[in-house]
Amino acid sequence: MEFALSEDQRLLQDSLAGTLASLCPLDEVRKVADGDRQTRDAIARGLNELGIHQILVPETHGGLGLGLLEAALAQEALGAAVSPAPCLGTAMAAAAIRAGADDAQKADWLGRIAAGEARFAIAAAERTGARAGAGIAAGPSGLTGKSLFAIEADTATHILAADDEGGLHIVEAGAAGLGVQAMRTIDRTRVFSEVSFDNTPRETLAGGNRPGRASAAMIAVGRVLVAADTLGAAQAMLDKAVTYAGERKQFNRVIASFQAVKHMCAEMAGEIEPARGLVWLAAHAGDEGQDDSELFACLAKSHLAEIGTFVARTATEVHGGMGFTDLMGLHYWFKRIGVNRQLLGGPERVREDAARLQGWA
């Protein structure tokens, strides 16, 4: 039995990594972090031309017909490059539509995603943690309430919102009663928003086997992708630490020759490699429709949150004082990992979800 990536999967990730190296080097990321919207849009166009938004769309609807594992490999490359392009929201929406829409809605919305006509934001943070004053109610006249930390709402053509009962609703950007206000986080490579609804018209996803199933599937896919993003960012920080240790000299010796530095780099590598396998396993379980796919998504998300935090801290320590400067740019990966830790549920909440799935809580 083969437990490694296929040649096509390796080529996909290598191709995307090469494209990202030219599309968004660190100087371009800095521009976006400083508020350059045009640079962000240019990076997004380049990735869309590569078909990244089509990965989870079946071929019958004009997509690439790939799976969650390929999407995770792509997200790992995006995390390694701290790409500011909006991709996560549309990927989660495609998964939700596949799980919770009827045939007509699938043909319509998946076709629009594949054609690049629909770019989705996700307003579902309240499904992964209670927030005071937040929540969405679905009434006969529309959606009412608000959702915090909505993903990529500033560039979306549509918002996929989860109500308090787990139902999913598509809202067009600019719809009556819809408000979108940017929220600042430490991660300047991505935009999160507060989205408010005041009897806002929506289209409710009509399929699915039971209420809340589609939103649960969407959250599980999102957690795998966020874990993959953290994995890519952590690997990039380790690579930068190893490179720096091989160049920086103290007492006429490169610091890579010091036993303490060797141990720090080895410990980071030792934590990352099994975590990579866990992300692949979670993505594979999702592709196979296994009963424990949501559990593996929880395990991957919570574990990578901890591993990412450890690597971010340790890689910065290897750089010494230089690790805190913008010249090295480590803080972009550090802050991305920090926000990923809480996105779609912090490790404590996600482990609680895992315990509940196993009947332990």
Q: Which helix (H) or strand (E) holds 31?
A: helix 26-33
CA–CA gap between residue 341 and residue 27 (Å, rounded):
25
User: How far is the CA of 259 from the CAs of 25, 116, 203, 241, 264, in angstroms?
Assistant: 32, 51, 60, 15, 9
pLDDT at 249: 86
Domains of the chain are 7-87+98-114 (1.10.540), 120-204 (2.40.110.10), 213-357 (1.20.140.10)
pLDDT in tens, the chain (361 residues): 467 889 999 999 999 999 999 999 999 999 999 999 999 999 999 999 999 999 999 999 999 999 999 999 999 999 999 999 999 999 999 999 999 999 999 999 999 999 999 999 999 999 998 778 899 999 999 999 999 999 999 999 999 999 999 999 999 999 999 999 999 999 999 999 999 999 999 999 987 555 578 999 999 999 999 999 999 999 999 999 999 999 988 888 998 889 999 999 999 999 999 999 999 999 999 999 999 999 999 999 999 999 999 999 999 999 998 988 888 999 999 999 999 999 999 999 999 999 999 999 7
